[in-house]
Amino acid sequence: MSHTQTNSNTATRNGLYHDANFIADEWVSVGDGSFNPVLDKYTGHELARLPNATEEQMESAIQAAVAVFPSFSRWSAGKRSARLDRLADLISEHKDELVALIVEEGGKPLSYAQNEIGRCITTVRTAAAETLRFGGETVPLDFGAGEGRIAFTTRHAIGPIACITPFNFPLNLVLHKVAPALAVGCPVIVKPAPQAPLSTMALATLIKKAGYPAGVVSAMACDIPVAEKMVKDERMAMLSFTGSDKIGWYLKSICGKKRVALELGGNAAVIIDESADLDAAAKTVAVGAYIYAGQVCISTQRIFTVGKAHDAFQAALVKEIAKLKVGNPKDADVLVGPIIDKGHLERIESWVREAIDGGAELLTGGKIVDAEHNLFEPTLITGATGDMKVNCAEVFGPVATIENVETFDDAVRRANESNYGLQAGVYTNDFSHVKQAHAELEVGGVMINNAPGFRIDSMPYGGVKDSGLGREGLKYAMEDMTEPRLLVY
């Protein structure tokens, strides 16, 4: 394998990453002859050009993962925990560089990127702590035919994990796959999003520096056929995918017998009833709908107001939207930065235009602010029908709809009229509505008096229907990456 040389441009930010893939502990600067250019999402400046890996290089990564698995999986819990703590230390030491990288390659507003790095450190620290308390259980057998016997389970790593990650949390969503795998002793191969792969490469640098053996982590840019080789290969024990529902379900169909976890996004609903604090709700809903230009799978997209709450809440929300600053993500007070690329910018504009042409009413926003920098106005629409894309699909942009319904029952029914079911928000001070929402909303999580985008990294996170399969969150992912083995004597 060929090593790349460090140069002086931003693509080697203090040696954190290179114009290369990380394959079995080596930086490899030669691929199939094509390249994946990584751009600053606001300026368009090229940050790096990663070579697209070949099938032979993917085979090398798989072979290395398979080879290291027997020894890595036998590391003691104490050793695995200590090594994760070392990795968390390294992320903390490089947090300023990592924040700057996320702002550039992801177009993420500065404050939100700082929040992501804080979460990354928490994710790895939590994995280190879970490693020490993660285990099996005692199984009661001392009755009937089992009388006099003792039984218990231990947890055993299943093998190498194939990880495919999105652009919007280019480090923390990688860590939601890598950290639990390292916690239980599973090697990983990571295929990051082509729009923002450099944070993954920086993580690979820190993993190497933390002292993990060759083959425990490989990370590479590659075209679809090479990624599908990893997905299909029987030596990979599990596929962990975060991205679009269309791609996720397709990958599940081709991955064979391996275990699968899918986190596929949605069009999250919020309900505001008449008992809610409407001004407080408007502030958090505005942030929940438009932070990072809505490019979050649990961004608030569909808003349902109940009865007399509508007029006051809608007016308060429009005022809060007007306060949001759109612009350069490096500016500390910007909340709404660039759309990830021109294609998505044009798609969002066409979806809004489709709704307005179809009879929906534009309350605010609705147009491209700055095409050169991929900026789109925070947009609020009312009167959109259920078959309009701004309602039935995942916009993944700074667009939300708002509708008034007569009763809380109506709001729950409307929220459930979706192919997705990731998380929902309910603003209420009526505890009967809290109980009803928890019982009836068809989602993986219900956030009370908060937007659907609330997430703590240790909680079980995932959805139902087209929003996915399985749960992330450190302990829950660790369970997916291990098998219980029973001993009876």
CB 337 within 8 A of CB 108: yes
Question: In Å, how far from its chain's centre is CA 85?
Answer: 22
| 297 flagged as catalytic | yes
* Residue 321 dihedral angles phi and psi, to the nearest 5°: -60, -40
Residue tagged active-site, from 120, 255, 297, 320: 297
What are residue 241's DSSP bridge partners?
A: 164, 262
Q: Is 310 exposed, middle or buried (0-12, 13-18, 19+ CB in 10 A)?
A: buried
With the C-alpha atoms ordered 198, 201, 205, 206, is the resulting torsion angle positive or negative?
Answer: positive
The identity of residue 424, as a single letter, is A
Burial class (CB in 10 A: 0-12, 13-18, 19+), 276: buried
| CA separation for the pair 461, 179 (Å, rounded) | 15
Which of 26, 104, 105, 263 is an active site residue? Answer: 263
Give the distance from CA 453 to its chain's centroid: 11
Active site residues: 263, 297
